[in-house]
Amino acid sequence: MNTLEENMEDMLNISVDVETPSKPAAPKPKADDQTKDYEYTRGELYSLIDKGQEAVQGALEVAQESGHPRAYEVAVAAMKHVADMTDKLADLHKKMKDLDAEQKGPKNVTNNAMFVGSTAELQKMLKEMGGGKR
């Protein structure tokens, strides 16, 4: 503290404690938040799909009553949007499944195993694995 601050404290009869502000800790993502977000998004998609289906029904009724090509075009576009929403719902399930798999840890999978050695060594290894029975 400098002398000006000390003099001000004396004149005002106060004491000031200077604290250095600390950085707030970054929030850690929680599995709880992930589940909550998943359920919220899933509910919103269901709601959008339901409203989209109602819009398709209304657009089809207008198209059938008017017979106008543009009305049919709008109805087909609405159907496409509903189909896209159902795809997004399926994607949401896949993403959630992938996140769960990441949290459980990586799996060690060998798809292409290769033996390096002579035919005699391979036969010997297979004999040992099979107990020598043929």
- pLDDT of 10 > 90? The answer is no
| CA within 13 Å, CB half, 58 | 7
Global pTM? 0.53
**At 19, is the secondary structure helix, strand, or coil?**
coil
Average pLDDT over residues 6-25: 68
Q: Tell me the percentage of the chain whose pLDDT exceeds 90.
A: 43
Q: Which helix (H) or strand (E) holds 132?
A: none
Contact in structure between 34 and 99 (CB atoms under 8 Å): yes
CA 128 remoteness from chain centre: 47
Distances (CA, A) of 79 to 5, 30, 71, 74: 72, 37, 13, 9
* CATH architecture assigned to 30-104: Orthogonal Bundle (1.10)
Residue type for position 132: G
Average pLDDT over residues 108-112: 71
Average pLDDT over residues 3-11: 70
Cα 100 to Cα 106: distance, rounded to the nearest angstrom: 11
- Give the mean pLDDT of the chain: 82
Q: Which pLDDT band, with edges at 50, 70 and 90, does 49 fall under?
A: very high
Position 101 scores a pLDDT of: 79
Tens of pLDDT, residue by residue over 50-99, are: 999 999 999 999 999 999 999 999 999 999 999 999 999 999 999 988 88
Position 29 scores a pLDDT of: 57
Contact in structure between 45 and 89 (CB atoms under 8 Å): yes
Question: In 1-134, where does DSSP find H-type helix?
Answer: 3-12, 31-66, 69-104, 119-130
